[in-house]
Amino acid sequence: MIKGKKILLGISGSIAAYKSAVLLRLLIKAGAEVKVVMTPASTQFIGPLTLSTLSKNEVLFELSENNSWANHVMLGRWADIMIIAPLSCNTLSKMVIGTCDNLLMAVYLSATCTVAVAPAMDEDMWLHESTLNNIKKLESFGNKILPVEKGDLASGLNGMGRMAEPETIVLWLNNYFQTASQFAGKKILVTAGPTHEAIDPVRFIGNHSTGKMGFAIAKDFYERGADVTIVAGPSNQSLPPQIKRLNVVSAKEMYEACMNVFNDMDIIVMSAAVADYTVSHPAKEKIKKYESELTITLEKTIDILKSLGEIKKEHQVLAGFALETNHEKENALQKLQLKKADIIIMNSLNDAGAGFGYDTNKISIFDKKGNEFLFDLKSKQEAASDIVNAIYTYSNG
């Protein structure tokens, strides 16, 4: 899978830079074309001559050399992936802020390809709140973080912070290239977040959904080569700019946005927590507190998933969620049938760590063909990956 791929290897200043030569050798052996970009600091840990000999390409580390300018934009466009290994604490922090003070940073900031990083640092540095926050931030930009490993560190201590071994990085890259084109050419619609149903111009009826699960699903599809559109209720989650985002507020707006794009879609995942009821007559002016009681009349919203199930074409795959508190599986299977979906993803509010607001979720997936996938509690990004895998299995099975 690595064979024929163009890989940009970024090296920053860490003692683990000596392992970059091994990584480079493994990549070349696997048939990749590799170009190396170094930070000036990293050249103190490993010589550019070693790396240029192994890569059979000139190693770049200056923004300009001999009065000529290194074209950082073209490098980021040339590569299928940029992997920064090792990623030092300093370069991590620059990536978060967007500091452009060396060639590696210029390439990173202008890269249009996926960027993966393999951090390397001492345990105390790794566990510092600022480092952990920076890693989270980097992840939110859509960058891939290869986990650090536990073992002997440069300080003489033993703990977390070692760069992933070159063999592990190669395995990760293999897997990345294998999945990166799984949904190439496919158009995906994901709904996410809550809806807000206006009571008057200042108040609404909503729910606790943050949109995390739907946004994670959208990102996972995008990373597997899909053309993704998200219809999002009010949510502060961020997305890579390549994902089209249609912002809506109410269930009615979400229905209309979905209907507008539905015909073009191959796969539709309805993960939004759509309000089941909306206010029949929202007040035009702010409701004053003159009365001691207030009655608001609600009416049912359109069930978007069910409406799409009714008009779904043969080639389209429709997945919905079932958030349950009792008789979970039974209710979920009933929703699968009733709403004419192909796949239903069930989560139960009885599972600790699952549901609204958490960064984790515990899901079970049932499909029309009778497949059943049960999962443990996982991060929402990992759960998203399980959901996308199940959809891939269903679509290609």
Supply the residues annotated as catalytic.
207
257 binds ligand CTP (CB under 6 A): no
Angle, CA of 371, 374 and 375, to the nearest 5°: 140
Rounded distance between C-alpha atoms, residue 91 and residue 61, angstroms: 14
CB 62 within 8 A of CB 154: no
DSSP for 352-372 reads: TT-STT-SEE-EEEEETTS-E
Overall residue count recorded for the chain in this entry: 397
**Residue 86 or 194 with smaller CB distance to ligand CTP:** 194
Give the closest residue to 332 by CA, choosing from 315, 317, 349.
Answer: 349
One residue of 91, 179, 301, 364 binding ligand CTP per CB under 6 A: 301
- Determine if 248 is a binding residue for ligand CTP (CB under 6 A): no
| DSSP class per residue in 313-328 | -TT-EEEEEEEESSSH
Q: Which of 38, 79, 192, 322 binds ligand CTP (CB under 6 A)?
A: 322
Radius of gyration of the chain (CA): 24
β-strand pairing of 149-152 with 158-162: antiparallel
Q: Which residue has the tokens 């389209």?
A: 316
Q: Which of 232, 251, 257, 384 binds ligand CTP (CB under 6 A)?
A: 251
Select from 64-72, 122-130, 234-242, 301-309 the region that touches ligand CTP (CB under 6 A).
Answer: 301-309
Instruction: Considering only the stretches 12-20, 101-109, 120-128, 318-326, report the one whose residues sit in contact with ligand CTP under the rule CB under 6 A.
Output: 318-326
CB of 193 to ligand CTP, least distance (A): 10
Applying CB under 6 A, which of residues 79, 81, 232, 323 lies at the interface with ligand CTP? 323
Contact 85, 168 (CB under 8 A): no
Closer residue to ligand CTP (CB): 163 or 270: 270
- Answer yes or no whether residue 92 interacts with ligand CTP by CB under 6 A: no
Query: Does residue number 276 form part of the binding site for ligand CTP (CB under 6 A)?
Result: yes
Q: Is 305 in the site for ligand CTP (CB under 6 A)?
A: yes
Task: Provide the binding-site residues for ligand CTP, judged by CB under 6 A.
Answer: 251, 270, 272, 274, 276, 301, 303-305, 320-323, 335
